[in-house]
Amino acid sequence: MAVLRKLEKTAVEAGNILCFGIDPKPMEDVAGYYSSITDALLEENLISAIKPNYAYFAALGFDGLHALKQIIDRYREKTFVILDAKRGDIGKSSDAYAREAYEFWGADAVTVAPYMGEDSIAPFIKEGKIAYVLGRTSNPGAKDFEELKVGKERVYEKVCAKAAKMGAGLVVGATSNALSGIVKLVGKDVPMLIPGIGAQGGEFDVLKALRGNPFIHRINSSSSIAFACEKKGGSPESAAKKEAEFLNKEIGKRVF
């Protein structure tokens, strides 16, 4: 798949699998703030993807959506762009959401909610794109449904197996011990998007499960990079670079 080659190529060239999650707070110049940080990270080869979160931009109204378009257009040729939109609806609606994500926004990948099943996921699985289906997520409430047992398996295991069979990637949080089991279930060739490292308190050691084919995966960190200056001082750009350097060092110990 061409998209997997792009995913792997950007990681190999940067020498890392770190993804910068962009979850903007209300501020005067969203595009300017995040572009200055992203530029600094890319110049130093500290990230190999960005993940703008649609909800945070939409909450800012039309100015936020305009900023989202500016950011994606600025970086779509420079790195791998994952639109974190968690879409999922009946077939025709999902088809419309897929066109929005890929054709209007121009993202390489989009996150997809699997609750409504195969026909709601299928429109997002297109040549040259990746649908990251929510598998075992990083939030505390994941246990409410994802951990429920259906026979001998948990719901998230069934979701992951189905999504992988369809040719989708998976979202698997670093805040639980599920990652190694999911890799064993679906194999090492299914691309994973892994949130939870950084501010959410995910454990680096769970990332050891990615050894063997690491460059098709992305480890996401958002606010701990974007607002590192609030804890560590310095400019947003310099603090973000220091945080990304730390994350890459810790990820590298476990993955490479």
Q: How far is CA 175 from CA 139, 224, 225, 244, in A?
A: 8, 15, 18, 19
Instruction: Identify the band that residue 175 occupies on the pLDDT scale cut at 50, 70 and 90.
Output: confident
Residue 198 dihedral angles phi and psi, to the nearest 5°:
100, -125
Q: For residue 42, give every residue at least 6 positions away whose Cβ sits within 8 Å of its Cβ, in sequence order, or none.
A: 75, 78, 79
Q: Is 147 exposed, middle or buried (0-12, 13-18, 19+ CB in 10 A)?
A: middle
What span, in angstroms and rounded, lies between the C-alpha atoms of 201 and 174? Answer: 8
User: Is it the case that residue 197 has pLDDT exceeding 90?
Assistant: no
Amino acid letter for position 75: Y
In percent, how much of the chain has pLDDT > 70?
Answer: 98
Say if residue 201's pLDDT is above 70: no
What percent of the chain lies above the pLDDT cut of 90? 93
Q: What share of the chain is helix, strand, coil (3-state, %, to 5)?
A: 50, 15, 30
User: Which of these ranges, 104-108, 194-198, 225-229, has the smallest mean pLDDT?
Assistant: 194-198
At 19-48, the pLDDT tens digits run: 999 999 999 999 999 999 999 999 999 999
- Of 6, 86, 129, 188, catalytic: 86
Mean per-residue pLDDT of the chain = 95
Tokens for 256? 């490479």
Per-residue pLDDT, averaged over 249-256, amounts to 95
At 198, the pLDDT band (50, 70, 90 cuts) reads low
208 annotated active-site? no
Q: Taking residues 78-100, what's their average pLDDT?
A: 97
**Which residues neighbour 211 within 8 Å (Cβ) at sequence distance 6 or greater?**
254, 255, 256
What are the pLDDT digits (tens) for 131-165?
999 999 989 999 999 999 999 999 999 999 999 99
**Residue 202 pLDDT class (50, 70, 90 cuts):** low
pLDDT band with cut points at 50, 70 and 90 for residue 180: very high
pTM higher than 0.75: yes
**Residue range 165-174: average pLDDT?**
97
3-class state of residue 70 by DSSP: helix
Q: Degrees (nearest 5) of the Cα angle 137, 139, 143?
A: 75
Q: Are 193 and 85 in contact (CB under 8 A)?
A: no
CA distance 230 to 140: 25
3 state SS of 167: coil
List the domains of the chain with CATH numbers.
2-235 (3.20.20.70)
* pLDDT value for 196: 84
